[in-house]
Structure 1
Amino acid sequence: MESRRVSPVFVGRAGELTELTAGLARAGRGEPQAYVIGGEAGIGKSRLLDEVLAAARSGGAVTAVGSCVELGADGLPFAPVAAVLRSLHRQLGAELAEAATGQLGEFARLLPELGDEARPASGDALDRMRLFELTARLLERLSADRSLVVAIEDLHWSDRSTRELLAYLFRSVQRSRLVLLATYRADDLHRRHPLRPFLAELDRLRSVRRIELSRLSDAEVQAQMAGITGGAPDPALARSVFERSEGNPFFVEELTANGGAGRGLSESLRDLLLVRVEALPEGVQELLRIAAEAGSSVEHALLAQVAGLPEPELLAALRAAVGAYLLVPTEDGDGYRFRHALMREAVVDDLLPGERARLHRRFAEALEAGHGLVPAGERAARLASHWYHAGDGARALPAVLEAATEAGRRYAYAEQLRLLERAIELWDTVPGPVLAGLRPVEPIWAYPESEAPGRPVDYPDLLAEATMAAVLSEEKDRVLTLSRQALRVLDARAEPLRAAWFWLQRSRGHGGLGRSDGQAELDRAKELVQGLAPSVVHAQILAQVAARNSLDLPSPEIFETAERAVEMARLVGAERTELYARFTRGCLLADSGDVAGGLAEMSAVIERVIEGSDVSLMSRSLVNYAATLGEVGEFQRASEAVARGMEIADRYDLREARGWLSANHAEALIALGRWPEAAAEAAAALRQSRDPRPRAGARLVAAHLALLRGDVPAARRDLAATRAEIHTPDLNPGMAVNLARVEVELAAAEGRIADVRSALSAAMSAGFPPFTAYHAWEVFLAAATAEAESRGLPAAEAGRPAAVAAIRAAMAFAPRAIPVWAALGRLVDAQLKRAEGRPAEARWAEAVEALEPFELPHHLAVARLGWAEALLAEGGPQARERAVEPLRQAGETALALGAAPLRERVARLAARAGLSLLPPEPAEPPAPADSFNLTPRERDVLALVAVGRSNRQIAEELFISPKTASVHVSNILAKLDVTGRGEAAALAHRLRLVPVPAER
């Protein structure tokens, strides 16, 4: 019988192939598709991919494949993307250049064959995001009129830059016939593997589908064996192969082939895989060892150079390796790779340490001696890796620095950081003459004194480059570690500017991590630059000082510092720092009362930031602009600004910005009276945020909303969760005031008047810095309302005069320059009169009139209720008649909002006055889910089924076992009387059995 080793029959993947083929059809109709295919090594991911690509090509699609390489961790970023571009360039030629719309030079950073680079990289996230956007638009144009299938294999080896580009493509590509496919080895994903959070993020995207390949059944293994051998297998052999392979297709191939040849098998996997290698001539085995140590693939020219064999012998050995199904040609036909990664790993593991070092040296020497052996964009990283693993530090350090330069040129800052840390590791092992010949990785813009051409790099320079790479890759812990290391070796008296720069990075790092405010580090940086000539560092420090001081209590120096920062940045030509400082100045203007001028300045900066795709300034600008609009009472504009900010955050993958924006949006929606939307936004902020600060902000907003609705237990839980996740000193000033508001409101709701007073006292001692005026007035309102509501209670009366006096004393310093603040101030004034038991009909009327221009339905209803109460207290038919309308309006608003405490107050007042103004509250019909007798846990499971979660994903999200999740799903299907998950999801959506929030 013929033995093919690879079955011509595609076995056991009919369902997955059908799903992917259906995706190709949808893409053909203009709906972009994305799939991530996972499974253990040898499970058949590549075979499935080959079948899909073949089907796509037969339908007229263009296909391109790129593979991640193990070298990615050593600084070969975007390798699969470059391979895809190379394939498209080879297939489409001029069409690719036309689709790039004059930006082909940008793509030359990834694939030098495309031409010269358009311009030098500026060394920041701006160019990186532009490259991502250009890539997305390029793929959209190429797939506008025909299907384009782009496949990325072996994501478990991917570099961070590739993952971030893929995530950007998954989110942003629309209106095209593009299909994105990616594969990964699931058994390689240990608990801290960087691909795990990436996959978790993809699970939240409806646009990405996950396919997990399972092992073959007994019958499927027999079918595969029949395809390999050309006939039905012997039952005993089939049983043995199934038991030993456990349904893994690759192991089935190996076991079938060896079993057919009658060879004995070792019990270890490595020995099993090496059986066929050891059966080959020694010359072929040596060639396989060389190819294995080269990486996941090796070019023919490089292999020939390292092997040193005459061409006939080399070709004969390659034919033997390919004929034994150990090597296969790469897609571009220029080299070879192992047919399966497990086989390559077995060959590498069989090498002795000395053999590996010797092979790495031979590869490094070959790469240094000859150009054109590998793609130009890969040469630096591969040379650095080979010299490093060869153990030659003197040769490795210059190569690593060159590779770091290349990574930075590609905007791959995470990989650049890894390389620079490797250079730091090598520094002390390298002789002085080698160090004297090194040059900086990039122009070190931070240090004017180091800009002289030809100046050799020193150790602090290297630490500065690594620190900047850590900043750009958002690895804040590494920023702190590297800057601390630099400050240990720098003499601040001799080089104050360089030391100040590192102190500035430490301040930003501490602030970014939320562990402290970074003020001490910033003060040290400011001290070091005093008296020095103007510089970029000086401007950056001033801008940071202005931003930081704007969070403290108001002072005349705040504006002066912001103005100096703007002027200094202009003087030294630091445009980004100037924009940062201008935005701070705009915030200060708005908060000081010049709302129109401040918002105009902030808006102008935002437009400039968006126009330049300046990602480094986007998050701060978008989030703080929306927050400022809410702070000055422009809640509808704030909501619109959040919507635009979300669109930009999604476009540029600004993950934490989305959490902050959702929290800000929830606050604005509460003010506007759109409470269900506010609850959904607060929940979205919790889902989207990893930073504890926006999560704390979202929980405080949720607690405030719960108290407005009368759900005291929910508010108590949210407050406790906030305190458990973040300490009060780590909250920014705005959230600290929000915390005080919730503490006062909760204590009042629970009747703890003493705690109301102590919470207010604590808030007053902390002060109310800029950008907190609106919430400060809400704190005063909560405290004043608590005093008014507790009139007549013996425990509250004793301390009331002092408490009211304390509120008035705090209010004396609260600004009323902006109309919405003044309106809230009138409402607090009226509540304090009520707390004192003094008639205040005129004060309440003024509060109603002041609040009516604003979209603050709950506040206005509170004012109308107070006005009606004051009128009824006056007595007389005329006053009673005047009280009817504001009381009715307050009741209608309370009912519409679902503000249970306010509605109860209206009902009590109406009952005391003998007025019947409110329609009876309708009895709540049973929830639709209750009519199906679903348990609370089953409703939770159904909500996840309705958004397409698998049993495994449901189990992970609800902290239950997959088996328990499966039981719940079965019970749900039975209770709903449906036949499958899809029908259950459709029924849940149609009947609103569960709240399913919209996916962002």
Structure 2
Amino acid sequence: MLGGVETRSVSPVFVGRADELAVLVDALARAADQEPQALLLGGEAGVGKTRLTEEFLGEAARRGAVVAVGGCVEIGAEGLPFAPFSTALRTLLRLLPGELAAAAAGQEDELARILPELGETPRGPHDEESTARLFELTARMLERLAADRTVVLVLEDLHWADTSTRHLLAYLFRTLARGRLVLVATYRADDIHRRHPLRPLLAELDRLRTVQRIELARFNRGEVRRQLAGILASQPDEAFVDSVFERSDGNAFFVEELVASHESGCRTGLTESLRDLLLVRVEVLPDAAQRVVRIVAEGGSTVEYPLLLAVSRLGEDELIEALRAAVGANILLATADGDGYRFRHSLVREAVSDDLLPGERARVNRRYAEAVEDDETLLRAEERIIRLANYWYAANDPAKALPAILAASVTARRRHAYSEQLSLLERAMDLWDSVPDDVRDELRPADYTEVYPPCGCDPATTPLQRVDLLAEATVAARYGGDRERALKLTKLALRILDEDGGDPLRAAWFWTERSRLIANLGRGDGWQEIATAQELVKGLPPSQVHADVLVRVAGWGMLHNPGPGNLAAAQRAVEYARMIGAEETELNARITHGCLLMDSGDGPNGLAALHEVKDRAIALGFTVVAGRAHINITSQLESMGRSREAVELAEQGVELVRRARLLDTEAWVRGNMAESLYSLGRWDEAAEAARHTLRVGHGAAPRGSASARLAYLALARGELAEAAAQLAAAHAHFGTHDSQPQHRIPLFRLAIGVAEGEGRLADVRAETAQAIAYGFPLGQHRYAWPLLLASATAEADARGLPGTEEGRAAALEALRDAARTLATPAPLWTAHSEYLRAELLRAEGRDTVDDWTAVEAAVSPLGRPYLLARARHRLAEALLGSGGDRETAAGLLRDAHATADRLGSRRLREDLALLAQRARLPLTPDEAHPAAPAPDTDPIEALGLTSRERDVLRLVATGSTNRRIAEELFISPKTASVHVSNILAKLGVASRGEAAALAHRLRLFAALAPRP
């Protein structure tokens, strides 16, 4: 309405900032090449961030880019969830309605949480992945929207951003991978104190190479002079330049304010007090204009004209005249859409707001609240609820504020803004005791909570209690990623319940939450807490809480201590859920029951039950349950050796949960797929599936499993350093407080493999002993058999080496005893049993061709190429060692070598090549058939080592240090070090341990023994 009013304090000439503008324009050019750009623009208040942004946006518009700006809203402590994104997306919807609708197609209901114009916001679902799903959908929508056009998105005043906005911005900065998109965020650097919530985000973004950070400095004297010349349209007096520069200290906004005060005759404007400087031009306005300015200062970052008319209680003509004066004085500006007004600079608004008396501020906020309550059309629905809560709170009216704040928390939850929901709920709890009883008695849990812990009462008629808010806040904290806060809330709730005489169902609910949180935080396995909950519900009538407790008890047992007792607990959980008609809970319990059936040996019935649950969950739309069913079925299929079926089902599961954006569920399914692909010899695909798991997974457990899968691959390929690194990563992900067999036993197996590869037999034995002492519960045979086999293979490979005989008999006996406790419910594990038996005999020098023929026959039909190649290697070795059929041995070696070559297993390839070299057998069909080996042939000639290097390798293989090698060979330690480095390079290994291990594994120790 008043956008054309003249202002004279802003320079029409863009001063300085040429380098910074060049960086922004360069980002625009890079984005045009489908390379998304992310920039942070910081500087103190008034230094010129807005002017630089305006110049950049003007240039972007001239180049044909679509521009959208959204500002963070400083209103109350919580702000409006996703406010800058909502504003910017609303602009894009207005400019590109068809294109944005197409980009959001199929996900309108979810994206409506950020842009309500897309449709009705659904009530759920809510879980720990809800926010991540919303962020992923937002990122993909922006990428699609910017696929064919350059889109510039500017988010201003990030220092005021709500938590959800900060998290979404960080997500976009990390994950945007394509599209012609430029994302710029500005913030006030002088506001970022040590505890400011933006500070950790800035530190995190600084570590991203894809994010550019621009910090604006103050103007120097020459730049201030040019700014003054632009404002005054003439060259300024040098004394005036000195005065302004000294008092403004180069701050562009202060320069403008000083000039405006000087030009209007307000000589007091040249004051040392910043507050006085900012208020001086307000105080010379007409009374009505001053009144309007003070009202706008309390309304938020922007105040809509109809709302301002209602709150000011001025006639429309009088209001317009007051606004004209404020805009003419360059204090207020009309918004771009002409629907409202804001301060030209937030510093002025803050100064005006701070100048209000407490009673005056409360009265203004009350008027805002009353106006918004009386007329729902004054504000958009999603803003109305949040702002009403803040207005009533600032009006110091607890009776009005409490229900308004609770309503705002519901809105925040529906937008998946769980951090804001938590802040609102905590504010409500702070007000709780200040609100009259009759007001609290009118509040109902059904209106304000979704996580109401059942207590045998009707949530639609029972008065809301503070403990109900604690339950809602606990889950909001967990969904928002603040598990520490959630844990503290459960502690507070349980103390309140104990003081009030106890409510066993509510207490059981909080203990169940504590169990989950304790496990997730790595503080323990959660059993003590869930056992407490189980004790609390004993003897009580069936309820949702009772069923949930039993499901968690059975699930805990399945993961930590599978056995008949947990099978009974799972059956009870199914029955309880069925009694209360909670089918989703029942299906979850049936998944646990089916898995325990399979672990107990009833594979066919257990698998059929799991498939039935999966199909039922899909039919009912219970995607979370369906995803869990896919996780467990694919895992059980792999345990049965049915890897191809597991991969096929995993592919279906990935598609199902990917559409629902269940990221951790997708990570689990992909992790299971990686395991089965590894078994099938599709190693490149397995590696990609594991890496994808690390990209999409948020939970520690699926990420730990993915790292373990990558470690298995590296170990099989002979990449020991990579295997050790991935093993360390898996340990870090899993932690030490929640030791589940399905996680712990594979890590023992990997540690054994790394130690064996580095020639550390003592560590192999130590890890094996720890694993056996840890135990192999029911259903863990799939991890135990490979572990025992790896340990037996290490013993066999080390046979005859110096210092390895002592303790071998005991180690082999321990392996045999452990194997007797393991089940062989499928041909795969029968084959492992046969393989282990043969390796134990090889470790004693008693293996025969018949032993390895039986192993090869057992492994051959399993469809596991790597396992088969290793078995054929041993059978060929046995044939050649016993003077058996050389043609058969040659065929076995060629087949195994081709497999090793295809898989990229350098280690197995080297083993096979050396055996073929010793036996003078061809590894390819077209290779000439060599003669039988001469008795005195040196098997390490092909390694290319000099005579001196052979001597050094002999000593390295016995564990000698460089100093010991120097003493033995009468050379200097430095020369010994050079020889060791050359040996490592020729052998293609990274360490002395690997060199020694290679020499041992390839049976070079005989050739390296001292000659007479």
Question: Structure 1 length normalisation: TM-score?
Answer: 0.77
One-letter code aligned to 2:475 = M
Counterpart mapping for 1:779-790 below 5 A: 779-790=787-798
- Aligned-partner Cα distance in 2 for 1:179–1:579: 46
Answer whether contact 1:774 1:821 (CA < 8 A) is retained: yes
Compare 152-161 and 231-240 and name the one that shifted more: 231-240
Q: Residue 81 of structure 2: SS of its match in structure 1? A: coil
Counterpart mapping for 1:593-992 below 5 A: 627-628=635-636, 630-633=638-641, 671=679, 693-694=701-702, 696-697=704-705, 700-701=708-709, 704-705=712-713, 707-708=715-716, 710=718, 727-769=735-777, 772-793=780-801, 795-854=803-862, 856-875=864-883, 878-891=884-897, 893-894=899-900, 899=905, 901-903=907-909, 905-906=911-912, 909-910=915-916, 913=919
- Aligned-partner Cα distance in 2 for 1:330–1:791: 83
Q: 1:199 to 1:599 in 2, by over 3 A?
A: farther
Q: Residue 450 of structure 1: SS of its match in structure 2? A: coil
One-letter code aligned to 2:511 = W
Answer whether contact 1:215 1:246 (CA < 8 A) is retained: no
Find the counterpart in structure 1 of residue 464 from structure 2: 457
One-letter code aligned to 1:741 = R
One-letter code aligned to 2:748 = A
Answer whether contact 1:328 1:336 (CA < 8 A) is retained: yes
Compare 909-918 and 555-564 and name the one that shifted more: 909-918
Q: C-alpha offsets along residues 897-939 of structure 1, whole Å, 9 cap, x if unaligned?
A: 5655545544554565565759998999xxxxxxxxxxxxxxx
- Alignment pair present for 1:399 and 2:374: no
1:212 pairs with one of 199, 211, 214: 214
- Alignment pair present for 1:466 and 2:468: no
Q: C-alpha offsets along residues 925-955 of structure 1, whole Å, 9 cap, x if unaligned?
A: xxxxxxxxxxxxxxxxxxxxxxxxxxxxxxx
One-letter code aligned to 2:256 = E
- Aligned-partner Cα distance in 1 for 2:677–2:286: 75
Find the counterpart in structure 2 of residue 572 from structure 1: 580
Compare 298-307 and 892-901 and name the one that shifted more: 892-901
Answer whether contact 1:445 1:451 (CA < 8 A) is retained: no
Q: Residue 74 of structure 1: SS of its match in structure 2? A: coil
1:290 pairs with one of 295, 300, 324: 295
Q: C-alpha offsets along residues 152-199 of structure 1, whole Å, 9 cap, x if unaligned?
A: 433433334445666777899999888766544455455665556667
- Aligned-partner Cα distance in 1 for 2:617–2:364: 50
One-letter code aligned to 2:157 = D
Answer whether contact 1:666 1:701 (CA < 8 A) is retained: yes
Q: Residue 769 of structure 1: SS of its match in structure 2? A: coil
One-letter code aligned to 2:847 = P
Q: C-alpha offsets along residues 855-890 of structure 1, whole Å, 9 cap, x if unaligned?
A: 544433321222122222323xx4344323323444
- Aligned-partner Cα distance in 2 for 1:894–1:94: 54
Find the counterpart in structure 2 of residue 488 from structure 1: 495
How many corresponding residue pairs? 918
Deviation at 1:458?
1.6
Q: 1:267 to 1:737 in 2, by over 3 A?
A: farther
Q: 1:354 to 1:603 in 2, by over 3 A?
A: farther
- Aligned-partner Cα distance in 1 for 2:195–2:672: 32
Answer whether contact 2:519 2:738 (CA < 8 A) is retained: no
Q: C-alpha offsets along residues 66-89 of structure 1, whole Å, 9 cap, x if unaligned?
A: 432123752632434554566577
Answer whether contact 2:88 2:153 (CA < 8 A) is retained: yes
Answer whether contact 1:150 1:179 (CA < 8 A) is retained: yes
Q: 1:95 to 1:448 in 2, by over 3 A?
A: farther
Find the counterpart in structure 2 of residue 38 from structure 1: 41
Find the counterpart in structure 1 of residue 959 from structure 2: none
Which has the larger Rg?
2
Percent of paired sites with the same residue: 51
Find the counterpart in structure 1 of residue 426 from structure 2: 421
Answer whether contact 2:307 2:378 (CA < 8 A) is retained: yes
Deviation at 1:144?
9.2
- Aligned-partner Cα distance in 1 for 2:19–2:646: 48
Answer whether contact 2:11 2:227 (CA < 8 A) is retained: yes
Q: C-alpha offsets along residues 93-114 of structure 1, whole Å, 9 cap, x if unaligned?
A: 9999999889988888778888
Answer whether contact 1:66 1:79 (CA < 8 A) is retained: yes
Find the counterpart in structure 2 of residue 504 from structure 1: 512
Deviation at 1:504?
1.5
Answer whether contact 2:748 2:767 (CA < 8 A) is retained: yes
Deviation at 1:573?
3.8
Answer whether contact 1:463 1:486 (CA < 8 A) is retained: yes
One-letter code aligned to 1:882 = T
Q: 1:910 to 1:111 in 2, by over 3 A?
A: closer
Find the counterpart in structure 2 of residue 156 from structure 1: 159
Q: 1:581 to 1:25 in 2, by over 3 A?
A: farther
Q: Residue 39 of structure 1: SS of its match in structure 2? A: strand
Find the counterpart in structure 2 of residue 374 from structure 1: 379
One-letter code aligned to 1:158 = A
Q: 1:727 to 1:18 in 2, by over 3 A?
A: closer
Find the counterpart in structure 2 of residue 966 from structure 1: none
- Aligned-partner Cα distance in 1 for 2:73–2:942: 66
Q: Residue 816 of structure 1: SS of its match in structure 2? A: coil
- Aligned-partner Cα distance in 2 for 1:101–1:710: 47
Q: C-alpha offsets along residues 358-403 of structure 1, whole Å, 9 cap, x if unaligned?
A: 5444544554555444333323322322333444433332222222
One-letter code aligned to 1:77 = P
Answer whether contact 1:3 1:229 (CA < 8 A) is retained: no
What is the alpha-carbon root mean square deviation over aligned residues? 4.9
1:339 pairs with one of 322, 344, 347: 344
One-letter code aligned to 1:860 = L
Find the counterpart in structure 2 of residue 322 from structure 1: 327
Q: C-alpha offsets along residues 524-556 of structure 1, whole Å, 9 cap, x if unaligned?
A: 222333333333223322322232221134423
Answer whether contact 1:72 1:158 (CA < 8 A) is retained: no
Answer whether contact 2:42 2:215 (CA < 8 A) is retained: yes
Find the counterpart in structure 2 of residue 250 from structure 1: 253
- Aligned-partner Cα distance in 2 for 1:694–1:431: 49
Compare 496-505 and 657-666 and name the one that shifted more: 657-666
Q: 1:204 to 1:582 in 2, by over 3 A?
A: farther
Counterpart mapping for 1:66-145 below 5 A: 66-71=70-75, 73-74=77-78, 76-84=80-88, 117=120
Find the counterpart in structure 2 of residue 6 from structure 1: 10
- Aligned-partner Cα distance in 2 for 1:215–1:274: 25
Answer whether contact 2:792 2:839 (CA < 8 A) is retained: yes
Answer whether contact 2:563 2:778 (CA < 8 A) is retained: no
Q: Residue 333 of structure 2: SS of its match in structure 1? A: strand
Q: Residue 816 of structure 2: SS of its match in structure 1? A: helix
Q: Residue 408 of structure 1: SS of its match in structure 2? A: helix
- Aligned-partner Cα distance in 2 for 1:398–1:768: 55
Question: Structure 2 length normalisation: TM-score?
Answer: 0.76
Answer whether contact 1:64 1:150 (CA < 8 A) is retained: yes
Q: Which runs of 5+ in 1 are unaligned?
A: 925-1000
Deviation at 1:781?
0.9
Find the counterpart in structure 2 of residue 538 from structure 1: 546
- Aligned-partner Cα distance in 2 for 1:864–1:913: 15
Deviation at 1:772?
3.6
Answer whether contact 1:73 1:415 (CA < 8 A) is retained: no
Q: Which runs of 5+ in 2 are unaligned?
A: 1-5, 928-940, 946-1012
Find the counterpart in structure 2 of residue 431 from structure 1: 436
- Aligned-partner Cα distance in 2 for 1:193–1:654: 32
Deviation at 1:797?
3.5
- Aligned-partner Cα distance in 2 for 1:651–1:72: 37
Compare 78-87 and 729-738 and name the one that shifted more: 78-87
- Aligned-partner Cα distance in 1 for 2:879–2:786: 25
- Aligned-partner Cα distance in 1 for 2:794–2:118: 71
Find the counterpart in structure 2 of residue 960 from structure 1: none
Answer whether contact 2:525 2:739 (CA < 8 A) is retained: no
Answer whether contact 2:30 2:37 (CA < 8 A) is retained: no
Q: 1:65 to 1:427 in 2, by over 3 A?
A: same
Answer whether contact 2:716 2:905 (CA < 8 A) is retained: yes
